[in-house]
Amino acid sequence: MPQLRKDPIIGRWVIIATERAKRPKDFKIIDSSPPEKECPFCFGKEDRTPPEVYSIKDNEGKWKVRVVPSIKPFLAGNHGLWKKGKGPYDLMNGLGKHEVVVECPQHIGNMADLEVENIRDVFFTYEERIKEIEKDENIKYVLVFKNYSWDAGGGRVKHARSQIIATPVNLKRVKEELEGAKFYFDYHERCVFCDMIRQELSQKERLVLDEDGFVAVVPFAPRFPFEVWVLPKEHSPDFYATPYDSLYPLANVVKKVLMRIKNLLNDPPYNYVIHTAPFRRPHRGYWSTIEEDFHWHIEIIPRLTKVAGFEWGTGFYICPSLPEEAAKFLRET
């Protein structure tokens, strides 16, 4: 059973994934990409994964997008949340969900290479799963993310997929964003993300795309070279409230960004993460202004640099490229 443990100093929750617990010899430093195993995510191999919990089907009943539980879940179970202290420490059981979204039936690795309609279906699938998971009162947050390719944690099999993790705690970085956004709102009575979008649209030097209600920008203070954020121009705290008609334009912008990253940077590994507002649980009174101050967005991070180690220990990042130059390359490619 996975555990959630809280760092007693800074209060960060960590998943101790006991289901994956490893002995020293299990850790191998693999420098090169290992050979691909037979793909369990292709059409026709459905018996290789746990039974699906959701799918979108075509007119002939064939699945186009499919969601299955992870075979090695980081978090699992939906009842009996316990929290306890142990000396000065806090822990709780690793209750939650961990699902895999198989993005296409054919063996394609990079979401950049999927059709826009296909990506729209993937985003619609995210929405449907988030709405379903929200019904579980123990869950505070749903995180949707993608690890593309081995060096981004994407595993051995090159079949496009993303992951959904539902947690009983709010995640540190998301909490910081919520707090930062609230702090800004309390002073300015404006959404910091909306202000940022206005600034980028008028200044244009970090703008990558501005199409059909969505913008793609390189942030002013990115952590990683060629980091790109995609945001809806209209204020909205919740990703899953995006109207169906807006998902195609969103998919179009995301595909273009991913395709440009692929072409410009030689098909690099990348991650993306959707930051959306946490569920508003009636018994949690805080985040009183969240509807007005938080703004969902997707953070896309090409993994281009060997991580200089001290970022881990300090939260201090060094970005070896000028954001304005990265945006220019991404705009003009």
Site for a second copy in 15-44 (CB under 8 A): 15-18, 20-24, 27-33
CA angle 139, 145, 147 (to 5 degrees): 140
Residue 313 touches a second copy, criterion: CB under 8 A: yes
User: By C-beta, is 79 or 306 nearer to a second copy?
Assistant: 306
Are 41 and 52 in contact, with CB atoms under 8 Å apart? no
In the region spanning residues 227 to 286, those forming contacts with a second copy, defined by CB under 8 A, are 264-266, 268-273, 275
| Contact of 237 with 296, CB cutoff 8 Å | yes
Query: Smallest gap, in angstroms, from Cβ of residue 132 to a second copy?
Result: 20
Residue 149 exposure: Cα atoms within 13 Å on the Cβ side: 18
Rounded to whole angstroms, how far apart are CA atoms 7 and 235?
34
Instruction: Return the amino acid letter for 31.
Output: D
Enumerate residues 74-113 that contact a second copy by CB under 8 A.
Answer: 74, 87-89
In the complex with a second copy, the residue whose CB is nearer, 13 or 63, is 13
Near a second copy in 193-222, by CB under 8 A = 193, 195-196, 199, 203, 219-222
Q: Which of 1, 7, 117, 189 binds a second copy (CB under 8 A)?
A: 7
Of 269, 293, 314, 283, the residue nearest 183 (C-alpha): 293
Q: How many Å separate Cα 144 from the centre of its chain?
A: 4
Query: Given its phi and psi angles, is residue 69 left (phi above 0), alpha (psi -120 to 50 degrees) or beta?
Result: beta
Shortest distance, CB of residue 43 to a second copy, whole angstroms?
26
Contact between residue 290 and residue 178 where contact means Cβ atoms under 8 Å apart: yes
- Contact between 321 and a second copy by CB under 8 A: the answer reads yes
Site string for a second copy, 155-194 (x = CB under 8 A): --------x-x-x---xxxx-xx-xxx--x-------xx-
Amino acid at 277: A
CB atoms within 10 A of CB 36: 14
The token duo for 161 is 């997929």
Whichever of 33 and 288 has its CB closer to a second copy, that residue is 33
Q: Taking CB under 8 A as the rule, does residue 309 contact a second copy?
A: yes
Site for a second copy in 122-151 (CB under 8 A): 143, 145-147, 150-151
Q: State yes or no: residue 13 binds a second copy (CB under 8 A).
A: yes
Residue 306: CB minimum distance to a second copy, A: 5
